[in-house]
Amino acid sequence: MKRLKTIIKFYWSVIRRPSVHYSLGFLTMGGFIMGIIFWGGFNTALEFTNTEEFCTSCHEMRENVYAELQHTIHFTNRSGVRAKCSDCHVPHDWTDKIARKMQASKEVWGKVFGTINTREKFEAKRRELAEREWARLKANDSLECRNCHNFEFMDFTRQSKRASEQHSTALANDEKTCIDCHKGIAHQLPDMTGVEGW
């Protein structure tokens, strides 16, 4: 304890003391440039963890959820727009993104200890994992859906009768949010017994 105190005291005095050898310009400019490099590097690394290549580098993702996504309209479609993993599963806003990335450290734990490293284990966990995503999307009013699908820009006349009826009522008056009806649009559904609306 005493040792720790002396160490802290030493560094505190170092930080407080004015620089003897380096100019103020060098320190401020150096700090600024290092800041840019660190910040840029940090964000680049963060962005890399948002790529499809990164997500599908693990067999847990590649052989389960990624394989299922490939049959859906979010993977391939007439206009060639793809929603990749992070578009739906990682918030775009910086603070929310960092919060989600911190939560993802649990997923690293899962990877290391092989929580879902076989198809059977994944199937057994599917409901739990799905429920977590439904709850997240319900809580943020399907924000990740709305990053692309803006309610204001919807043309009900171009929708089918059923779709426009639901969107102009339940969705328009905020009774329901996207995920309430559009579950299992990108991945297979778990056993849905007891889920509301199923």
Partner 1 sequence: MKKLIITTLVMAFTVSWVQAQENIATLRGDTSLNQQGTPPVMPKVDNEDIKRKRNYPMQPPTIPHKIDNYQVDLKTNKCLSCHSRKLTEESRAPMISVTHYMDREGNFLADVSPRRYFCSQCHVIQTDAKPLVGNEFIDIDDLLNIEQSQ
Closest CB to partner 1 among residues 84, 187: 187
Work out which of 26, 160, 171, 173 binds partner 1, going by CB under 8 A: 160
Cα separation, 54 vs 68, in Å, equals 17
Question: CB of 73: closest distance to partner 1 in angstroms?
Answer: 8
End-to-end CA distance of the chain: 60
Type of residue numbered 63: E
Under rule CB under 8 A, residue 71 binds partner 1: yes
Part of the chain binding partner 1 (CB under 8 A), chosen from 16-24, 44-52, 139-147, 188-196: 188-196
Among 189, 188, 191, smallest CA distance to 71 is for 188
HEC string of 140-190 equals: CCCHHHHCCCCHHHCCHHHCCHHHHHHHHHHHCCCCCCHHHHCCCCCCCCC
Work out which of 50, 72, 117, 147 binds partner 1, going by CB under 8 A: 72
Under rule CB under 8 A, residue 190 binds partner 1: yes
Under rule CB under 8 A, residue 184 binds partner 1: yes
Under rule CB under 8 A, residue 191 binds partner 1: yes
Torsion sign (Cα): 56, 109, 104, 123: positive
Closest CB to partner 1 among residues 143, 195: 195
Cβ atoms 93, 99 nearer than 8 A: no
Work out which of 162, 174, 175, 194 binds partner 1, going by CB under 8 A: 162
Closest CB to partner 1 among residues 107, 180: 180
Residue 106: which residues within 8 A CB-CB, separation 6 or more? none
Find tokens 């580098």 and name the residue.
57
Under rule CB under 8 A, residue 110 binds partner 1: no
Residue 9: which residues within 8 A CB-CB, separation 6 or more? none
Part of the chain binding partner 1 (CB under 8 A), chosen from 58-66, 95-103, 108-116, 156-164: 156-164
Under rule CB under 8 A, residue 73 binds partner 1: yes
Part of the chain binding partner 1 (CB under 8 A), chosen from 54-62, 108-116, 147-155, 157-165: 157-165
Closest CB to partner 1 among residues 69, 90: 69
